[in-house]
Amino acid sequence: MSNPLLSAWDTPFQFPAFDRIADSDFAPALDQALAAHDAEIAAIVANPAAPDFENTIAALEASGELLDRVLSPFFALSGADSTPAREALQRDFSPKLAKHFAAISANTALYDRVRRVWEARDDLGLDREDARELYLVHRGYVRAGAALTGAGAERMQAIKERLAVLGTAFTQNLLADEREWFMDLAEADLQGLPEFLISSARAAGVEKARPGPVITLSRSLIVPFLQYSPRRDLREQAWRAWVSRGEMGGATDNRAHAAEILALREERAQLLGYANFAAYKLETEMAGDAQSVRDLLMQVWKPARARAEADQAILADMAAEDGLNGAFEAWDWRYYSEKRRKAVHDLDDAALKPYLQLDRMIEAAFDCANRLFGLEFSPIDLPVYHPDARTWEVTRKGKHVAIFLGDYFARGSKRSGAWCSAIRSQAVRPRPQTPIVVNVCNFAKPPAGQAALLSYDDARTLFHEFGHALHQMLSDVRWEGVSGTSVARDFVELPSQLYEHWLEVPEVLQRFATHIDTGEAMPQAMLDKVLGAANYDQGFQTVEYVASALVDLEFHDGAAPADPMAKQAEVLADLGMPKAIVMRHATPNFAHVFSGDGYSSGYYSYMWSEVMDADAFAAFEEAGGAFDPDVAGRLEEFILSKGGSEEAEVLYKRFRGRLPGVEALLKGRGLDQAG
């Protein structure tokens, strides 16, 4: 039987034929794809014609088509439906791919052609998009170390290969800890838990083949358990497991990996002439340098910590009234905060969840996209990689735009968190193609036959990831390398965080937040409570996030710490971290930073983008409504369709006329009045 990975898909819209792919197909297909790519690169280098845009830059972009066809389905599977066989393949592929791409970056003859085209750029008559493509390709080669020679070039290649191995190991260790740990609950332990949580715990017990309900390290289970369980001993046990992922000792401990990754990043940056990794990484971001990042984060840290400390005093008093002897601890925060939220806002997640059905929230996200951008979503039967995954065709005025895949439920084979990726990105060159966009979430799966219910945070996550998906779907650029979310890291979260705002638009909730049993819309009184509580506990949420962002920054802005855990403790002590709050992501489970370079020295980017998203939604409000067609048109024209085809700052100024200040963010989080 022929390898299905080695020929074009004969499925509708050339969707990957996941139903025909076997794990055993990947390794031989990768070997052939790497060889094909090597041959394509060799042909570019051997071209006797003088280097020009078409025979060098465009040819580079056209190369690797077979490699993309092999890797796109593999990475979709390895992130969302991992198996021991796929994990073994990933461990084998990571250094092999790093070596392959490092060799291309170190190919001096290839770089010489790129350099010569770059130096002749003013005489080539390129339009704006081709000039941008040339700039980015040349910059990418320089930053990858193409100008290095001799021992420096060899060391750079070795560093890249080792970082690929370490990043894969970090991710797989974290997945193993999350997959293997669970806490059995006796029937008596269910006292005080809402029915939705009991139901999810029973479903998790079935998945783990246990005789009763269990709590796993899935956020959709452990967070509500910490909110509702009156059993302080069980809360502590669950909380300690949650924050200890990646540092449980043994084969899955990530602490040594983190130290080595930081040291190698510093060495890599210094080989390229940068003082440290933060200087290297931030050079291409909107922020530009570490001090700009630090300034933003500290402007937010001070009012957030003041709010969190005031909240902690209130919660500690509540715990004391409850008979708590001793210190108020981190595993107490969510429990007493939930009690306080119910008392202050009369809002109970257990009462709210029946109004937040997964299917209705998907409809809401689709409907907002229709009203804003004219997109329509129709279910379509395609060969998905897991029975939980669903697909839709996206059209506009009858014309095909994209395929959207949603994979929403937590399972042991899926890494934690939520993300958006593209199995195929939009492009005109090197070949015309429409996008295949994937949203992956980790919502609690209900028992068979029951509808999935979301928390309000879950619903916000769904809208967030769909905002990323719109950035991919509405992309309208020439080159795949700048398509969709291929933008500066501190700009990429703008569309996703901006889209969260539509979940809070009253008319959206009134239409789609309907009760699972009665079908009635969320009562106005409850809606008012939901919107009124939107900024509840923002001190806690902002502190745990900003602490993580600052630790990430300090890891990379200076000498790499030999002991990252000691450095983490030092940074938090200097900040005056409130005792009962921990970082959102402790170092050994900080996958954003250590599974790859994506968010390294860049975890701050969510907040950088939030400065813009608060200001961008204000543009709709100033125009008279969340669905103003003129503002929506500008948003698509100047941001969503442009990808990375122009500098992020230029695009935002075209949309809004100026860059925003931090004031809109503080107001949006309700921290503008904090001490």
Residues annotated catalytic, as ranges: 465
Q: Is the CB of residue 403 less than 8 Å from the CB of residue 382? A: yes
Smallest Cα–Cα separation from 296: which of 664, 621, 26? 664
List the Cα angle 308/497/370 in 5-degree steps. Answer: 145
- CA 470 to CA 38: how far, in whole Å? 34
Amino acid symbol at 626:
A
CA angle (151 as vertex; 147, 156 as ends), nearest 5: 60
CA distance 138 to 132: 10
Residue type (1 letter), 202: R
- C-alpha closest to that of 638 among 649, 623, 624, 627: 649
3-class DSSP state for residue 391?
strand
Burial bucket for residue 528 (CB in 10 Å: 0-12, 13-18, 19+) = middle
* Packing angle of the helix pair 605-623, 290-321 (nearest 10 deg): 90
Tokens matching residue 399:
């014309």
Q: What's the rounded Cα separation, in Å, for the pair 248 and 588?
A: 9
Residue found by looking up tokens 């796109």 in the block = 72
* Lookup result for tokens 């006796």: 186
- Give the C-alpha distances (Å, rounded to integers) separating 196 from 165, 453, 455: 40, 8, 10
Alpha-carbon distances of 596 from 104, 197, 336, 432, rounded to whole Å:
20, 33, 36, 30
260: nearest Cα among 161, 169, 145, 166: 166
Which residue in 346, 357, 387 sits closest to 532, CA to CA? 346
Angle at 644 between CA 138 and CA 488, to 5 degrees: 85
Q: How far apart are CA 544 and CA 441, in angstroms?
A: 21
With a CB cutoff of 8 Å and minimum separation 6, the contacts of 599 are 489, 552, 592, 593, 605
| CB contact set of 513 (below 8 Å; sequence gap of 6+) | 355, 356, 360, 364, 521, 522, 527
Residues 357, 453: contact at Cβ < 8 Å?
yes
- CA-based radius of gyration for the chain: 25
